[in-house]
Amino acid sequence: MLTPVEWKSEGISLIDQRLLPHELQLIHYDNVHALSDAITDMVVRGAPAIGITAAYGVVLAARDAFAQSPENWRDIIEDDLALLIASRPTAVNLQWAINRMKGLFVSIEGNPESALLAEAKSIHNEDIAANIRMGELGAGLIEEECQVLTHCNTGALATGGYGTALGVIRTAYTQGKISSVFVCETRPWLQGARLTAWELQEDNIPTTLLTDSAACHLYNQGAIKWVIVGSDRIAANGDVCNKIGTYMHAVTARYHGIRVMVVAPSSTIDLNTRSGKEIAIEQRTKEEILNFSGVKIAPENVSAWNPAFDVTPAALIDYIVTEKGVIKAPDNKKIRRAMR
């Protein structure tokens, strides 16, 4: 099974997702500062994959902190953990993974590396198992063979393996419930065009790529029955924060009578965030908008607005699928019941 992050040779190996689909290259990291830059620079992306990477990053940080002071490593490590948390602030899985790793600190005696590495590997394996489970649950909602649309990349490359929304698509396709998949290019990083289309092609799933702005016209043709997407953070009331453009899909899908399914592990649900209005949206550099493949495409001195995510209100979502179960027409009460 393809996985974008792996612990090997006493460090972390990441697939450089900036180079796909043209080149499959691994980069090895053995210190937190370089790893934090890799998360910020989109070498690795996707909320679950970022969380797994951060968990392994805690192992690296603990190794260095213990080498500096076996007695005070818990204090020394805090600066490195803050650096990891700041690398991508919107994806809640990153903070969740680090908090889970920190929960072990008090019980560790001696060198912390082996205990923390075992926990990081557990987080990784649990994510893969959750993805497979969500694939089964989500596929169960699709009643008959149809065409679906997905936005951004939610496959093996965005997770520990298999995928969230793309995991549902993989499972439903093998069950004969999906005939083909429409994939939005997902500007400005083109995760749909570069990554999702590549993953689906590797699985021999019929795939059609379209520009982000063509989706509404496609919906109007009556060809799409489901929009299936992932999430980087889900608020306690069911509002969903996901890759920029998701809100647009949800609004137009509702108008055209198309159902919306959000697929994400329970670690993505943030009960401390009451609604999507409280989610800090990552603002990325304007250069991602003003340039394309290293070529400037806009006039000199023009400004650009580049939010990485948007928030889709719960009222526009038909189902949220987690490994804990399916939440229909999500709201605060249903979200909290599911998390219990």
Cα 277 from chain centroid (whole Å):
20
CB of 267 closer than 8 Å to CB of 93? yes
Which is catalytic among the residues 80, 127, 232, 270?
232
Bridge partner residues of 292 (DSSP): 295
Q: Single out the residue of 108, 77, 82, 76 nearest to residue 94, CA to CA.
A: 82
Q: How many CB atoms lie within 10 A of CB 100?
A: 18
What phi, psi does 281 have (nearest 5°)? Answer: -90, 125
Element (H, E) at 148: strand 146-150
Q: With H, G, I as helix, E, B as strand and everything else as coil, classify residue 192.
A: helix
Cα 188 from chain centroid (whole Å):
16
Q: Provide the token pair at 74.
A: 């818990």
- Catalytic site includes residue 310: no
CB of 183 closer than 8 Å to CB of 192? yes
Catalytic residues: 232
